[in-house]
Each structure stands twice: as structure tokens, then as C-alpha cells.
Amino acid sequence: MGNRPSPLFEVEGVTADGKPVTAINHFPVIPSRAMDDVDDVDLVIVPSQGFFFYPATKDHGQRIDWLKDIHGRGADLASVCAGAFTLASTGLLDGKTATTHWSMSKQFKKQFPKVDLCTDLLVTDEGHLFCGGGISAEFNLSLYLIEKYFGREIALQSARCTLVNLDCITQSPFAVFTPEKNHSDKLILDAQDHIERSYQSVVDVEAIASGTGMSVRQFNRRFKAATGEAFNGICNFLGSKPPKSIWSTPLFL
């Protein structure tokens, strides 16, 4: 107590051209320099960009080229929330695990099918590439990186100061299940509609499968093909095993 702090990180903000930018909440961001003026850096953190992602713009292309170049010169890269879209655009995450906010998982998977997206995780670590889930997961990611660079004791001290659980690793408790209904399989759509109408009742999987003229195994396979989600996975999302009958909650609202 009373001692002057001695920072372990030297932090600077940079923009593409070194000029101030305005965040989507109209808050001005004043950078220290332009990204091309950065010669030697250990870690680059790509902030969240909200729900706005325009990969066709000139600025986006410049950022991607710079991130690949700086990573090639030894810098670690980390993204927060939707910043994972920018990090994935470099191609460096292809064949690797990543995470972003759970609500953007479908959009991310469509744009970056080569990335192994794990939105149940708050933080992913691929050696020199890191991702943090939602916007508040920047705290979890920061603590993770502190531990990575400076050890667990300093990370624990930081966790006590920030009142953030150092070992919180999943965002599953915050996720809302949103089913895929943008498909053309009428039998599966009818089954989904039935489940929506019956969300306060016991849903008998065998009865649903029988109503579509399929066995439970056939129904599960076709449900997966149409929606991209295993019917058993819905049961797992609820924290239950996939029995013949499950108690359904409003999954499809």
C-alpha cells in the first residue's frame, strides 16, 4: 500500500492512420500512433467492433495485412468479442479454435467455416492467438494473458482487484438457444412448430419421430441435417440427458 505501481505492460492504442476515431457510442478514441509506426510489439489486442463487420472496405484490408505482418514478426494476437471476425479474416485461425459472443456464432461459422468455433468458452488459446468471448470477457481474457505472461500469482492479485473470477471459462450460462428454421425440410419444420406449441408439456421424442414417419434414429439424423443442431444437443443444452421423453422449455421462441 502506498507504493507507486510499476506497470508490467506498456499499453498504446493505434488506429490505421494514427488519427482519432469515433466509437459507435460516439465516444472519441485518441490513438498514440498509426499502426504502421509500430515496429516491435509483444501483443496486439483487436477490440470488439459490435455487430458491424465490413470485410470489403479498404481499411479492413489494411488492418488484415498489418496483423499478418506483425504476427509474422513475432507478435501475439488476441481478439475481444466480435474482434474475432477481424482476427479470423487473417486466415491465421484456420484449423484452430476460437471464440466470440455466442449470439454471433452462426454468422461467424458461415464466414469462417475453417475455424473451429467454440462459443461455450470465454477464452481460447492457440499458442500465440487468443480470443475472448463477449465484451465483458475482455476481463477474463486480460487475466488469462496476465497469467500467461507473468504467472498465476500476479493474475490472482489482478483478479482480486478487479473482482473477476480468474477461473471462469464458459459463457454457456448466458447463452440463449436459437434454433435454425431457415431450411426447407417441412417435416422437421412441422416438428419444430409442434415443440414450440408444446413447450409447457412433456415432449415425447418417439411420438414426434413417429408423427413424421421416422424412427428416432432417422429423426435425429434428419433434424441434424436440416438445422445443424443435434436433437440430443438440445437436451444437453438444457443440462439433461436425451431420454425418450424430455421436459421442454421455450427453446423455439
Indicate yes or no: pTM above 0.85: no
- pLDDT at position 200 is 57
- pLDDT at position 218 is 86
What digits encode the pLDDT tens for the residues 194-211?
A: 776 665 556 677 777 788
- pLDDT grade for 13, boundaries at 50, 70 and 90: very high
* Highest mean pLDDT of the ranges 55-64, 81-90, 232-241: 81-90
What's the CA gap between 224 and 218, in Å, rounded? 10
Range with lowest mean pLDDT among 62-66, 132-136, 166-170:
166-170
Q: Which of 129, 128, 127, 107 is nearest to 119 (CA)?
A: 107
Range with lowest mean pLDDT among 22-31, 73-82, 226-235:
226-235
What digits encode the pLDDT tens for the residues 78-126?
A: 999 999 999 999 999 999 999 998 888 888 999 999 999 988 888 999 9
Please state, in angstroms and as integers, the Cα–Cα distance from residue 182 to each residue in 188, 204, 221, 223, 226, following that order.
11, 24, 17, 13, 9
- pLDDT at position 222 is 85
- pLDDT at position 55 is 75
Mean pLDDT of 184-198: 77
Please state, in angstroms and as integers, the Cα–Cα distance from residue 115 to each residue in 55, 96, 104, 111, 227, following that order.
17, 6, 14, 9, 19
Q: Please write down the HEC assignment for all residues of the chain.
A: CCCCCCCCCCCCCEECCCCCEECCCCCEECCCEEHHHCCCCCEEEECCCCCCCCCCCHHHHHHHHHHHHHHHCCCEEEEECCHHHHHHHCCCCCCCEECCCHHHHHHHHHHCCCCEECCCECEEECCCEEEECCCCHHHHHHHHHHHHHHCHHHHHHHHHHHCCCCCCCECHHHCCCCCCCCCCCHHHHHHHHHHHHCCCCEEEHHHHHHHCCCCHHHHHHHHHHHHCCCHHHHHHHCCCCCCCEEECCCCCC
- pLDDT at position 236 is 45
Does residue 237 carry a pLDDT above 70? Answer: no
What's the CA gap between 223 and 235, in Å, rounded? 13
- What mean pLDDT, rounded, does the chain reach? 80
State the CB neighbour count (10 A cutoff) for residue 131. Answer: 31
Mean pLDDT of 14-24: 88
